Amino acid sequence: MFSLKAEAPAGSLRVILRRERLELVSTDTFTLVPMTLHRARFKDRRSIAEVVAALARDSRIGRAQANHLYALVAQAMPALAGAQYVVGKLRLKEAHASATGKDVTVAVIDSEPDSNHPALRDAVSERHDALDGGKPVAAHPHGTAIAGIVGARTQLASAAPEARLLAVRAFSGETRTGAQGTTIHVARGLDWAQRKGASVVNMSFAGPWDAALSDFLAAGAGRGVVYVAAGGNAGPASAPLFPAADPNVIAVTATDAEDRLFPAANRGSHLCVAAPGVDILVAAPNGNYGLLSGTSMAAAQVSGIVALMLQAKPDLTPPEVRAALTRSARDLGPLGPDRDFGAGSADAEGAVQALIAPAAQTRPAPPTEGMSATPVSAAAPDQP
């Protein structure tokens, strides 16, 4: 895919396509990052690298890169667990006494969720199909599971049960958990989510670094959007995967009921926090339930926690969200942040209270009998 410079002469697109023996597939104009991307294909024996290099040498081209492939990251498990251990691990019940994600919009860029599932009924406010064609499709297990983890209304305990969900279909596939999408599909989803007012965007997928998507993430973060991504399930020997490794993304790894690291999880200094992601009870299409494991599940837990944080303090910036998450995390593994667990296990109650408590301490105490009602100023406590 490629973009043209603003000063490119009229007719440049047609000339370039003919010269490089390319067939135009789609043209997308974005608002989050002001640009127009042209997606093209070729049928000869050239490699993608050769075509990209040829385009990059053209002075009329602003950007040229591969339309990278991304995959959802989850593993199906054989049996159904009876308990939702996530509730206790993340201290969700305690956190929900103060915040439930009400009035916070969370976009889930994934495969098609089952919006009619009892657990998701009334949870998905709007949906967008970022794929080509726009034909009606069956609900997919991965998208259904992730939406339920973030904001299930009933049946399942979710991280943010009153958050407003935006469902973005950017991935498709026929397997129980796997589905694939490309750079252009994810970019469409990011652009739409920002235009629809998403404060949090969950990205439970992984793949190679992508210059175009990195620009989209930087632009969104600059406008206050918090991005959360799965660290990846490629194992300890894998290089960091994108978008989790992007500096504007909160990267999440997965742990089990005993706080052990998910064996297939990626490692790296870019990891922010861990969250339960092994044997997670999730919603499945057609009103069913199942078990899934992977960093996808963990990322969705943290996206929900971020929604709680933004309800408690709506003006939080993305760096402040990251700082509050890491400060309140329960340390795992070696003392302090590490390449396996990041800052430790996310703590919903700790994160929410860290935001509520300082504000409460700065408010004047109400007058009591026999005391003057004149307000008395008090200095705010030092912030960590």
Judge whether 247 lies within some domain: yes
d(CA 213, CA 382): 38
pLDDT tens string 244-281: 999 999 999 999 999 999 999 999 999 999 999 999 99
* pLDDT class of 28 with cuts at 50, 70, 90: very high
Identify whether 365 is part of a domain.
Answer: no
Distance CA 155, CA 122 (A): 13
Q: Which of 37, 162, 28 is nearest to 98 (CA)?
A: 162
CATH no. for residue 167?
Answer: 3.40.50.200
Active-site entry in 158, 199, 204, 296:
296
Predicted pLDDT of residue 71? 86
pLDDT at 178: 67
- Shared domain for 40 and 90, answered yes or no, is no
24 and 102 inside one domain: no
| Residue 227: closest CA among 268, 177, 270, 178 | 270
96 is catalytic: no
CA distance 117 to 113: 9
At residue 180 the predicted structure's pLDDT band, cuts being 50, 70 and 90, is confident
9 and 150 co-located in one domain: no
Q: Do residues 57 and 86 share a domain?
A: no
Domain finish residue from 13, 38, 67: 67
Flag whether 321 is in a domain. yes
In this structure, the answer to whether residues 47 and 115 fall within a common structural domain is no
What is the residue-averaged pLDDT of the chain? 90
Q: Where are the beta strands (DSSP E) in the chain?
A: 2-4, 23-30, 35-41, 61-64, 69-72, 75-76, 105-110, 124-129, 164-169, 180-182, 200-203, 205-206, 226-230, 249-255, 271-276, 280-284, 288-293
Residue from 38, 58, 110, 128 carrying the catalytic annotation: 110
Split at pLDDT 50, 70, 90, the class of 372 is very low
Residues 327 and 209 occupy one common structural domain: yes
d(CA 220, CA 191): 9
pLDDT average, residue stretch 331-336? 94
Residue 143 CA to residue 236 CA, distance in Å, equals 26
Would residue 367 count as lying in a domain? no
Which residues partner with 261 through β-bridges? 255
Domain-terminating residue out of 45, 67, 89? 67
Q: Read off the amino acid at residue 331.
A: D
Cα 339 from Cα 138, distance rounded (Å): 38
Q: What percent of the chain has pLDDT over 90?
A: 82
296 is catalytic: yes
List 270's β-bridge partners, or say none.
none
Under the banding of pLDDT at 50, 70 and 90, the label for residue 152 is very high
Number of neighbouring beta carbons within 10 Å of residue 15:
13
The boundaries of the domain holding residue 34 are 2-67
Nearest to 156 by CA among 121, 105, 125: 121
Number of H helices, E strands in the chain: 10, 17
Contact criterion met (CB below 8 Å) for 202 and 108: yes
pTM of the full structure: 0.88
Note the pLDDT tens digit of each residue in 88-131: 999 999 999 999 999 999 999 999 999 999 999 899 999 999 99
Per-residue pLDDT tens digits for 306-329: 999 999 999 999 999 999 999 999
50 and 104 fall within a common domain: no
Query: Is residue 317 assigned to a domain?
Result: yes
Residue 195 lies in a domain: yes
- State residue 363's pLDDT score: 47
Determine the average pLDDT of the residues in 159-165: 98
Alpha-carbon distances of 310 from 76, 209, 355, rounded to whole Å: 32, 28, 9
Number of separate domains in the chain: 2
Say whether both 9 and 94 belong to one domain: no
In angstroms, what CA-CA distances link 192 with 41, 118, 136?
25, 26, 19
pLDDT tops 60 at residue 2? yes
Q: In the prediction, which pLDDT does 174 show?
A: 67
One domain for residues 78 and 62: no
Comparing CA positions, the residue from 98, 127, 176 lying closest to residue 359 is: 98
Residue 318: partners with Cβ closer than 8 Å, 6 or more residues away: 221, 224, 225, 226, 227, 248
Bridge-based pairing state of the strands 61-64 and 164-169: unpaired
Distance CA 368, CA 319 (A): 40
Q: What is the pLDDT of residue 358?
A: 65
In this structure, are 104 and 134 located in the same domain?
A: yes
Residue 176, in any domain of the structure: yes
Is the Cα dihedral 18, 20, 23, 27 positive or negative?
Answer: negative
Query: What does the pLDDT look like over 33-74, one tens digit per residue?
Result: 999 999 999 989 899 999 999 999 999 999 999 999 998 876
| Whether residue 307 sits in one domain with residue 210 | yes
Report helix, strand or coil for 227: strand
CB 266 within 8 A of CB 253: yes
Are 116 and 35 within one domain?
Answer: no
> Token pair for residue 304?
């929900």
Catalytic residue among 38, 142, 185, 270: 142
Report the SS3 class of residue 209: coil
Judge whether 110 counts as a catalytic residue: yes
Any domain includes 372: no
| Domain end marker among 26, 50, 67 | 67
